[in-house]
Structures are given as structure tokens and as C-alpha cells.
Amino acid sequence: MKLGRNDPCWCGSGQKYKKCHEFFDEKLAEFRNRGVLVPDHSLIKTKEQIEGIRKSGLVNRTVLDYVAEHICVGMSTEEIDRLVYEKTTELGGIPAPLNFEGYPKSVCTSINDQVCHGIPSSDIILKDGDIVNVDCSTILNGYFSDSSRMFCLGHVSEENRRLVEVTRESIAVGLKEVKPWKCMGDMGAAIHEFAMAHGYSVVREIGGHGVGLEFHEEPFVSYVSRRGEEMLMVPGMVFTIEPMINMGSQEVFLDEADGWGVYTEDGKPSAQWEVTVLVTEDGYEILAD
């Protein structure tokens, strides 16, 4: 059913369609007609939803800050899990990973050649020289946020520290490309080129995702994509930028024993940073980091 120009806009603003998203929809249709993949209205968040995701992201950031204060050599990843559970719930949130598709813990902790989705365990003790990704996701009042950081423990080798730094910088490189009416492929390609220029490779099979009303929404966000390809970015979209960058080859494998952990095939280290980002009228806003 076509919305009348004087009907209330579909975005929930309460404004008339003609004063709100009518021009936006026309622009979207132009892109669609040119063969560009455009987001469904359901992927465009309302003001209220954005505020909810922003608050969720604030909890997620506070939890990661708390981990940053406490993480140290000799600690088990189970202890990180407890820190995350306790801080998240103290702030009124729920750790999104807990029971997500059967995931047994509140956070993912991935060390060295572990690429992502490492399950915390009391048997896994952080060692001097480890590089570890702590990936936190929060549900607050039904709104989801997702971000992760790397931690360098004790005496980390120069080359591993560089991998961590370059991966962190790759987020900034990708963010520069986040502007309305550009394609996600512009962002993915920028990250890929940056990683390759440093002699690294980027994981293909696992990527980012829309986020906000659910943990994982459309679209799949690739960091090996091509400019001018993938979904159009428009104001109100929320997604993650979370490249996994490998020192060696891009090949990874799944740990069949636990069904979650992903490792590099060649055993070389991998790093990942993640932010939740909102596309705004003139660029982006980081909602969780």
C-alpha cells in the first residue's frame, strides 16, 4: 500500500510523509532502479530506537572499560567472563552472547591464533605476550550493541603489537568511508586495501552485521568487498565494523570440538577490533566501541 503524502511517515517520527522520508524514499528508489542493493525500511532505525541502542552501547563500552582495568597475565578467561556478566547486569543489561544459539558464556575471548568466538574457560590462562580480543555485546531494554577490543598482555612481540595497532587503525580507515549514499563495499575495500598494504590478510567467511533490534541483522558486512558494491548506506542504519586481520594467510577453520572457536589455518596470530556505528545525515556516529 502506497503511503499518502499527508499520512504519518513510516519512520514513526509523527511527521507527515511529505515532510519526512518522502524525498528519501525517492532517492532510495533511484538507487534501486540502478541495480544498487538498498536497505529495507526495517533496517532504518527510528530516533527512539537509536537512543535505545546508544544507551546499550554506553553499557557495552563501560563493560569493556571495566575489563581493560582488570585484565592481566595469570587471569583465566573464565574470570573475564565473570567480570563481563557482573558489570553488564549491574548496569541493567544482559550479555547478548549468553545462550545465543546455544553459546554458553557472556563474552568471547580469542587469543593469538584464535580468530573469534573463543569460549571463556577456567582452563585458559592469559600468558605474558598474548594478544587477546574481548568481544562484548549488550542487550539493554531490548536494544543490542556490539563491540570488541584487543588487549596486549605483558611483553608482546613487536610484530604482534603491530598487527594489533594496524587492525585498530583499519577501523578508522573504514569509518572514513561511512557516509550516507555510499556503498558498504567502499568501506570494506578501504579496510582490505589497508590491511594488504601492511602485508596482512582479511578473513572472508566471518564479518560484521546490522545490529540494534536484534543481535545479528541484515546485511552481512564484508571487509574484502569491492567499491560500489554491497548495500547502500543510508541515515538510520546501524551495523558493526569488525574486521578480523591475519598476520599470515586468510584461511581459518572452525573448532569442531566446541562448535564455536575459529582459528587461523597457519597458526599465525589474528586481531580484531569492533565498533557499532550509526549512519547519520553527514557521516557516522560510533554507538559502541
If one asks whether residue 79 binds Co ion (CB under 5 A), the answer comes out as: no
Q: How far is the CB of 215 from Co ion (least distance, A)?
A: 8
Q: How far is the CB of 154 from ligand MF3 (least distance, A)?
A: 25
* Shorter beta-carbon distance to ligand MF3: residue 113 or 146: 146
Q: How far is the CB of 24 from ligand MF3 (least distance, A)?
A: 28
Cell numbers found for residue 91:
548496569
Q: How far is the CB of 223 from ligand MF3 (least distance, A)?
A: 13
What is d(CA 99, CA 194) in angstroms, rounded to the nearest whole number?
36
* Shorter beta-carbon distance to Co ion: residue 11 or 203: 203
* Shorter beta-carbon distance to Co ion: residue 62 or 76: 62
Amino acid in the structure at residue 36? V
Choose from ligand MF3, Co ion, none: what does 117 bind? Cβ within 5-8 Å by kind.
ligand MF3
What sign results for the dihedral spanned by CA atoms 51, 54, 55, 56? positive
Q: How far is the CB of 183 from ligand MF3 (least distance, A)?
A: 21
Cell numbers found for residue 81:
567472563
* Shorter beta-carbon distance to ligand MF3: residue 28 or 171: 171
Binding mask 232-261 for Co ion (x = CB under 5 A): --------x---------------------
Cell numbers found for residue 263:
582459528
Q: What are phi and psi of 169, to 5 degrees?
A: -65, -30
Strand partners, 254: 262
* Shorter beta-carbon distance to ligand MF3: residue 177 or 274: 274
By CB neighbour count within 10 A (0-12 exposed, 13-18 middle, 19+ buried), where does 36 fall? middle
If one asks whether residue 145 binds Co ion (CB under 5 A), the answer comes out as: no
* Shorter beta-carbon distance to ligand MF3: residue 223 or 260: 260
If one asks whether residue 289 binds Co ion (CB under 5 A), the answer comes out as: no
Q: How far is the CB of 216 from ligand MF3 (least distance, A)?
A: 6
What is d(CA 135, CA 29) in angstroms, rounded to the nearest whole number?
37
Q: How far is the CB of 276 from Co ion (least distance, A)?
A: 8
Residues that bind ligand MF3 (CB under 6 A): 97, 100, 103, 108, 117, 135, 137, 146, 240, 242, 260, 274
DSSP-derived pairing of the beta strands 201-202 and 108-111? unpaired
Amino acid in the structure at residue 151? F
Q: Tell which one of 146, 177, 186, 289 touches Co ion (CB under 5 A).
A: 146
If one asks whether residue 109 binds Co ion (CB under 5 A), the answer comes out as: no
Collect all residues with Cβ–Cβ distance below 8 Å to 285 and sequence separation of at least 6.
Answer: 277, 278
| Number of neighbouring beta carbons within 10 Å of residue 70 | 11
Q: For the stretch 245-280, what's the b/e string if a residue is b when 16 or more beta carbons lie within 10 angstroms of its beta carbon?
A: bbbbebebeeeeeeebbbbbeeebbbbbbbbbbbbe
Question: Interface residues with Co ion (CB under 5 A)?
Answer: 146, 240
